[in-house]
Structure 1
Amino acid sequence: MSAIKIGAAPLNQTPLDWSGNLQRIVSAINEAREKKVELLCFPELAITGYGSEDLFLSYWFPIKALDQLKTLLPHCKGITVAIGLPVRIENKVYNTMAIVENGKLKGFVAKQYMAIDGVHYEFRWFTPWKAHGIIDLDFFGEKIPFGDISFHHKTIHYGFEICEDAWRGPIRPGYRLCERKVDLIFNPSASHFAMGKTLERKELIEFSSKEFDCYYCYVNLLGNEAGRMIFDGETMLAKSGKVLYRNQLLSYQDFQVLTFEVKEEVQEIARILSKEEEFVQAASLGLFDYLRKSKSRGFVLSLSGGADSSTVAILVAEMVRRGIQELGLENFCKKISFPIPQNSASAEKELVNQLLTTAYQGTKNSSVDTFKSAKELAESLGATFYHWTIDEEVGTYTQKIEDAIGRKLTWAEDDITLQNIQARTRSPIIWMLANINNALLLATSNRSEGDVGYTTMDGDTSGSISPIAAVDKYFILHWLRWAEKNLDRPGLALVNSLQPSAELRPAERTQTDEKDLMPYSLIVEIEKLAIRDRRSPMDVFLILKEEIQIEDQILKGYIKKFFQLWSRNQWKRERLAPSFHLDQFNVDPKTWYRFPILSGGYKEELEQLDQL
Structure 2
Amino acid sequence: MPFGNLFELLHPFLSSSTQVFKQILSCSLNQWAMDFEGNFERILTSIRIAKERGATLRVGPELEITGYGCLDHFLEGVSTLAHRDTAELNETMAGDTCLHSWEVLAQILKADETQGIVCDIGMPVMHKNVIYNCRIIIHNGKILLIRPKMWMANNGNYRELRYFTPWMKHRETEDHYLPRIIQAVTAQTKVPFGDAVVSTVDTCIGVELCEELFTPASPHILMGLDGVEVFTNSSGSHHELRKLHTRVELIREATQKLGGIYLYANQQGCDGDRLYYDGCALIAVNGHIVAQGSQFSLQDVEVVTATVDLEDVRSHRATSSRSMQAASAERYQRIEVDFSLSDEGTASVVNIEDLVISSRRPEIRYHKPEEEIALGPACWLWDYLRRSRTQGYFLPLSGGIDSCATAVIVHSMCRLVSEAAQKGDQAVISDARRIAGEAEDSDYLPTDPRDFANRIFHTCYMGTENSSAETRNRAKDLAVAIGSYHTDLNMDSLVTAVRNLFGLITGFKPQFRAHGGSNAENLALQNIQARHTTMGEDAPSLTSGDRLGYGCANVDESLRGYLTKRPQLNATFSADVNPIGGISKTDLKKFIAYAQSTFELPILENFLTAVPTAELEPITETYVQADEADMGMTYDELSVFGRLRKVEKCGPYSMFTKLVHEWGSFLSPTQVAEKVKHFFFEYARNRHKMTTLTPSYHAEQYSPDDNRFDMRPFLYPSRFPWQFRKIDAAAATLPDKSTVHPAEAKDKMA
Q: TM-score, normalised by structure 2?
A: 0.79
Deviation at 1:286, TM superposition (A): 0.5
Q: Percent sequence identity over matched residues?
A: 29
The 10-residue stretch of structure 1 (151-160 or 485-494) with the greater mean CA deviation from structure 2: 485-494
Query: What SS does the aligned partner of 2:470 have?
Result: helix
Cα RMSD for the two superposed structures:
1.8
Candidates 210, 216, 225, aligned match of 1:163: 210
Query: What SS does the aligned partner of 2:709 have?
Result: coil
Listed one character per residue, the Cα deviations across residues 533-571 of structure 1 (whole Å, up to 9, x for unaligned) are 110212212211222222333322221121111111122
- Whichever of the two has the greater Rg, that structure is 2
Listed one character per residue, the Cα deviations across residues 231-272 of structure 1 (whole Å, up to 9, x for unaligned) are 111112222222222222111101112111123312644521
1:93 has 2:131 as partner: yes
The 10-residue stretch of structure 1 (328-337 or 573-582) with the greater mean CA deviation from structure 2: 328-337
AA of the residue aligned to 2:173? I
Partner of residue 312, structure 2: none
Partner of residue 430, structure 2: 334
AA of the residue aligned to 1:282? G
Candidates 150, 166, 174, aligned match of 2:197: 150
Partner of residue 530, structure 1: 645
For 2:684 and 2:551, how far apart are their aligned partners in 1? 22
Candidates 370, 376, 391, aligned match of 2:492: 391
Q: How does 1:455-494 map to 2 (within 5 A)?
A: 455-459=563-567, 460-494=572-606
Query: What SS does the aligned partner of 1:415 have?
Result: helix
Contact 2:402-2:553 at 8 Å conserved across structures: yes
Partner of residue 341, structure 2: none
Describe the shift of the 1:405–1:529 C-alpha distance in structure 2 as closer, same or farther (beyond 3 A): same
Contact 1:63-1:88 at 8 Å conserved across structures: no
Query: What SS does the aligned partner of 2:104 have?
Result: helix
Partner of residue 65, structure 1: 101
For 1:309 and 1:611, how far apart are their aligned partners in 2? 42
Query: What SS does the aligned partner of 1:493 have?
Result: helix
Describe the shift of the 1:402–1:91 C-alpha distance in structure 2 as closer, same or farther (beyond 3 A): farther
Describe the shift of the 1:490–1:169 C-alpha distance in structure 2 as closer, same or farther (beyond 3 A): same
The 10-residue stretch of structure 1 (427-436 or 560-569) with the greater mean CA deviation from structure 2: 427-436
The 10-residue stretch of structure 1 (521-530 or 335-344) with the greater mean CA deviation from structure 2: 335-344
Contact 2:63-2:133 at 8 Å conserved across structures: yes
Partner of residue 220, structure 1: 266
Structure 1 segments, 4+ long, off by >4 Å, are 267-270, 340-346
1:511 has 2:625 as partner: yes
Partner of residue 455, structure 2: 354
Query: What SS does the aligned partner of 2:412 have?
Result: helix
Contact 2:429-2:445 at 8 Å conserved across structures: no
AA of the residue aligned to 2:607? V
Q: How does 1:103-252 map to 2 (within 5 A)?
A: 103-130=141-168, 131-139=170-178, 140=180, 141=183, 142-170=189-217, 172-252=218-298
AA of the residue aligned to 2:50? A
Q: How does 1:519-598 map to 2 (within 5 A)?
A: 519-548=634-663, 549-598=666-715
Listed one character per residue, the Cα deviations across residues 105-148 of structure 1 (whole Å, up to 9, x for unaligned) are 11111100000111111100010002122111111342011110
Partner of residue 323, structure 1: 417
Deviation at 1:342, TM superposition (A): 7.1
Contact 1:63-1:87 at 8 Å conserved across structures: no
Listed one character per residue, the Cα deviations across residues 277-335 of structure 1 (whole Å, up to 9, x for unaligned) are 11111010000000011111000000001011111111111101012213536632312
Listed one character per residue, the Cα deviations across residues 357-399 of structure 1 (whole Å, up to 9, x for unaligned) are 0000101111110001000000010100000111111011011
Q: How does 1:4-23 map to 2 (within 5 A)?
A: 4=21, 5-23=23-41
The 10-residue stretch of structure 1 (426-435 or 231-240) with the greater mean CA deviation from structure 2: 426-435
**Structure 1: which 5+ residue stretches go unaligned?**
none
1:274 has 2:368 as partner: yes
1:36 has 2:54 as partner: yes
For 2:25 and 2:549, how far apart are their aligned partners in 1? 40
Partner of residue 559, structure 2: 451
For 1:344 and 1:85, how far apart are their aligned partners in 2? 37
Query: What SS does the aligned partner of 2:715 have?
Result: coil
Deviation at 1:45, TM superposition (A): 0.3
Deviation at 1:227, TM superposition (A): 2.2
Contact 1:138-1:144 at 8 Å conserved across structures: yes
Partner of residue 523, structure 2: 416
Partner of residue 63, structure 2: 45
Listed one character per residue, the Cα deviations across residues 516-546 of structure 1 (whole Å, up to 9, x for unaligned) are 1211111111111012211021221221122
AA of the residue aligned to 1:2? Q
Candidates 352, 375, 378, aligned match of 1:284: 378
Candidates 495, 498, 507, aligned match of 1:406: 507
1:500 has 2:612 as partner: yes
Q: TM-score, normalised by structure 1?
A: 0.97
AA of the residue aligned to 2:525? L
Describe the shift of the 1:346–1:11 C-alpha distance in structure 2 as closer, same or farther (beyond 3 A): closer
Query: What SS does the aligned partner of 1:490 have?
Result: coil
Listed one character per residue, the Cα deviations across residues 567-595 of structure 1 (whole Å, up to 9, x for unaligned) are 11122111011111112341112331111
Partner of residue 102, structure 1: 140
For 1:270 and 1:175, how far apart are their aligned partners in 2? 24
Partner of residue 734, structure 2: none
